[in-house]
Structure 1
Amino acid sequence: MRGRLIYLMGPSGSGKDSLIDAARDSLLGLDCVVVRRVITRSAESVGEDAMGVTTEQFAQMRREGDFALCWRANGLDYGIPAEIDRWLSDGRHVLINGSRGHLSEAMTRFPTLLPILLTVKTDALRKRLERRGRESAEEIEARLERNALFSTDAAREDSEGIFQLDNSGELSTAVDSLLALLTREGISANADRI
């Protein structure tokens, strides 16, 4: 039995990292590995728990086939370690923090991929961004504009098989919704591995 790739997407500030962290123990109970991305940014950068590498290191890793998936966005390179291929073939499920712009390529590589778009209402996003205090007023407005584009695209994507998950309210509600969606889609621990 092969595992399934769970491809979580969403605009910056939608709470992907918070959702993943809050659901981590429950995901392990479903035999689901949460992948740590490789990103070309300083390890001291604020944000997700990613492996920070230089642009040169990333290019070398790419040449050496260290990535199952990789893409460039917002001036940074992102890589998903090739180790996921082994996990999936062993029957484990794998959750990655993916990119909407790279989804079609990921679906080609992993045809049974489960695409999930994390959405957040504009008012909730504004409060989160203001509360964390990392962005200027102009940067917050730019993120809100990108979120509005995501929302517009999301309405169209309902018919394209992309599951939407609202993260505008309590984080525990989003975790419950994520776990319910995964269960409905057949994500569960492989009995042979327990």
Structure 2
Amino acid sequence: MSGLWVLVCGPSGAGKDSVLGWAAQELGHRQDIVFARRLVTRASQPGSDHDEVSPEQFARLIDGDGLAWRWQAHGFHYGIEARYAGQVAAGKIVVVNGSRAHASGLDATAPVRVVQVTTDAAQLASRLEQRGRDAPHEVSRRLVRNALFKDLCADHTILNQGALELAGRQLVDYLVGGALSPAAAGHADFLSS
């Protein structure tokens, strides 16, 4: 029995990390749904959903076939360890916090679904400014970059403009009931390293 990858992506400020965190907590008791931890060549903070690796460690993982997925974004390398591919092969749903650029370049032959978390431009701008990680010109650049992905083909879209629980519940419902259904297979894309 083969499982499924679910790649969750969205623009900075859409609340993707919060939605994923809410869903992971809600589904923590499920053995058939796994939330993958990313490996990233940037520092991790308390509560991060990724583990920090050096560029040299990342290169060794690539050379040793240690990554099932890899991509670059915002000057950093991101990867998903190969061990998660074994969980998909065992029939589990493995949820990956990914990037839209990676999602738009996926191969259409393997078991993956793309879920996009989004919100309107005004909320994106407000959230990016409130989090204070980017200079004003960086916020503007991130907002302009969103136009590159306006035609992203997603299997499911979550509009995160209200309470976090509403968006989180949509992701939970999709993972529990919709991800494996034939109707959700309109965009079955995957990219291995």
Q: Post-superposition shift, 1:97?
A: 1.0
Q: Distance in 1 between matches of 2:76 and 2:2?
A: 31
Q: How many percent identity over aligned positions? A: 36
Cα distance, 1:105 vs structure 2: 5.3
Whichever residue aligns with residue 55 of structure 1, its letter is P
1:179 is the counterpart of 2:162:
no
SS, match of residue 91 in structure 1: coil
Provide the residue aligned with 2:77 in structure 1: 77
The answer for the alignment partner of 2:191 in structure 1 is: none
CA shift at 1:185, angstroms? 3.1
Range with bigger deviation, 166-175 or 20-29: 20-29
SS at match of 1:28: coil
Q: Do the aligned residues in 1 keep the contact of 2:34 with 2:94 (CA within 8 Å)? A: yes
Give the partner amino acid of 2:164.
L
Q: Is structure 2 residue 53 aligned with structure 1 residue 39?
A: no
Q: Is the 8 A contact 2:12 2:124 kept in 1?
A: no
C-alpha separation in 2, matches of 1:105 and 1:85: 19
The answer as to whether partners of 1:122 and 1:148 remain within 8 angstroms in 2 is: no
Q: Following TM superposition, by how much is the alpha carbon of 1:146 offset from its aligned partner in structure 2, in angstroms?
A: 2.1
1:144 aligns with 2:143: yes
Contact 2:12–2:128 (CA under 8 A) maintained in structure 1: no
Alignment correspondent of 2:163 = 170
The answer to whether the 8 Å contact 2:3/2:111 transfers is: no
Consecutive unaligned residues in structure 1, runs of 5 or more: 188-194
Structure 2 CA distance for aligned equivalents of residues 70 and 17 of structure 1: 18
Q: Given the superposition, is the C-alpha separation of residues 178 and 162 from structure 1 closer, same or farther in structure 2, using an over 3 Å criterion?
A: same
Aligned length, in residue pairs? 179
Q: Could you list the per-position Cα deviations for residues 48-73 of structure 1 after superposition, in whole angstroms to 9, with x for gaps in the alignment? A: 42111111111011111110011122
Distance in 2, Cα, partners of 1:84 & 1:125: 31
Q: Over the residues paired in the alignment, what is the CA RMSD in angstroms?
A: 2.2
Q: Distance in 1 between matches of 2:10 and 2:55?
A: 24
CA distance in 1, matches of 2:72, 2:47: 17
Does the 8 Å contact 1:3/1:88 carry over to 2?
yes
Q: Which structure 2 residues correspond to residues 90-169 of structure 1 after superposition, within 5 A?
A: 90-103=90-103, 106-108=106-108, 111-150=110-149, 152-154=150-152, 157=153, 162-169=155-162
Do the aligned residues in 2 keep the contact of 1:2 with 1:92 (CA within 8 Å)? Answer: yes
Q: Which amino acid aligns with 1:128?
A: R
TM-score (norm 2): 0.82
Scaled by the length of structure 1, what TM-score is found?
A: 0.82
> Going by fraction, where is helix more abundant, 1 or 2?
1
